[in-house]
Amino acid sequence: MSRTLILVKPDGVKRQLIGEVLGRFERKGLSIAALKLVQLETSVVEEHYAHLNDKPFFGELVSFMTGGAVVAAILEGPSAVEVGRQVIGATNPLEAATGSIRGDLAIEAGENIVHGSDSDENAEIEVARFFPELG
């Protein structure tokens, strides 16, 4: 059993896609272990996306992620990270496979509905960042 962090980004929340997004993971076989609706602090977003801080779009990304509510979820199941990435699809929705969340629901890379951990190591870090109360 492994776990991954999933964030339904502000565009997904605003478009009322929370149930659609989470349902796709559940239908694939992952279980929701924790779930909350949060307004992210700038410091959390900057830490989460620190690997992108030298990119020209970093400021816009931080503004986007702090500009509305986000749903944070811990999903569990066999190969949760890999399964989650498959369900999510490619970062650029125009390159994402039909049937994936991004392929079906998003149209631009900057607002692509959902974030998912990209490795088991990052999943542990991200779960601790967004669910410190589960320590």
Tokens found for residue 99: 């049937």
9 labeled part of a ligand binding site: yes
Distance in angstroms (rounded) separating the CA atoms of residues 53 and 123: 20
Instruction: From the candidates 89, 115, 117, 131, give the one annotated as an active-site residue.
Output: 115
Distance in angstroms (rounded) separating the CA atoms of residues 110 and 27: 26
The verdict on whether 115 is a catalytic residue reads: yes
112 labeled part of a ligand binding site: yes
85 labeled part of a ligand binding site: yes
- Contact residues for 112 (Cβ-Cβ < 8 A; gap 6+): 9, 11, 91, 92, 93, 102, 106
Tokens found for residue 66: 């702090």
Please work out, in degrees rounded to the nearest 5, the angle formed at the alpha carbon of residue 54 by the alpha carbons of 102 and 122.
55
102 labeled part of a ligand binding site: yes
91 labeled part of a ligand binding site: yes
Residues linked to residue 69 through DSSP beta bridges, in sequence order:
39
Binding site residue list: 9, 57, 85, 91, 102, 112
Binding site residue list for ATP: 9, 57, 85, 91, 102, 112
Q: Which residues are identified as catalytic?
A: 115
